[in-house]
A and B are shown apart, each in its own frame.
Chain A
Amino acid sequence: EDQVTQSPEALRLQEGESSSLNCSYTVSGLRGLFWYRQDPGKGPEFLFTLYSAGEEKEKERLKATLTKKESFLHITAPKPEDSATYLCAVQETSGTYKYIFGTGTRLKVLA
């Protein structure tokens, strides 16, 4: 069964304390892997798309990487404004529509 699992479910960091979020996936064929940020009461906001193993994308303090079985979202020297839920989603090659979302990691960065 196709699925996406994110870990940890929740993470508390001190400001400046770097860490990584994990997204592991099981799909028949990967078309793309997406990272989104979701703030409370808002819709998910697009961060990155990764298409092939070895690919990396960066944006400010965030860096996303991809292997054949998982993706990591590295957060370097986080700030309180990085606090949010981070969602991972995969799109399969077998369908033109199907996105499978993980349940997210709730990140809290303490000042």
Chain B
Amino acid sequence: DADVTQTPRNRITKTGKRIMLECSQTKGHDRMYWYRQDPGLGLRLIYYSFDVKDINKGEISDGYSVSRQAQAKFSLSLESAIPNQTALYFCATSDPRLDTQYFGPGTRLTVL
């Protein structure tokens, strides 16, 4: 089984809808991250969390919110989706002793 899972894998929605993307991990890592990937722009950090009580904004947090329900679960919400939020979204975890990030398979989100 995959260490980092994301649901759904694909989602098509309409402008103005609320969307939640979910991430679960079995690696036992405290640190979790949400990124979006756009062609030509690379991976950009949306939010990150170092433990259940710690939530921090990344470089592009506007229009997004997150919830850390448990050590293993980190959800990303789009309160009112807009077309320029169409992108690939990745969840990642890391072990602070090694700094390496481990990524989930991604969610392809399309906002019409």
B26 interface residue per 8 A CB criterion? no
Q: How far is the CB of A1 from chain B (nearest CB, A)?
A: 12
Known: A103-B40, A104-B42. A34 touches B101 (CB 8 A): yes
Which chain A residues in 42-62 approach chain B with CB under 8 Å? 42-46, 49
A87 interface residue per 8 A CB criterion? yes
B42 touches A101 (CB 8 A): yes
B42 touches A43 (CB 8 A): no
B45 touches A99 (CB 8 A): yes
Number of interface residues of A (CB under 8 A): 23
B106 touches A101 (CB 8 A): no
Interchain pairs with CB closer than 8 A, number: 53
Complexed CA–CA distance, A43 and B48 (Å):
17
B42 touches A44 (CB 8 A): no
Known: A49-B99, A101-B42, A102-B42. A43 touches B56 (CB 8 A): no
A46 touches B42 (CB 8 A): no
Instruction: Tell which of B4, B31, B43, B98 touches A101, judged by Cβ atoms closer than 8 Å.
Output: B43
Q: How far is the CB of B15 from chain A (nearest CB, A)?
A: 25
Interface of B toward A, CB cutoff 8 Å: 4, 31, 33, 40-45, 48, 50, 56, 90, 92, 96, 98-106
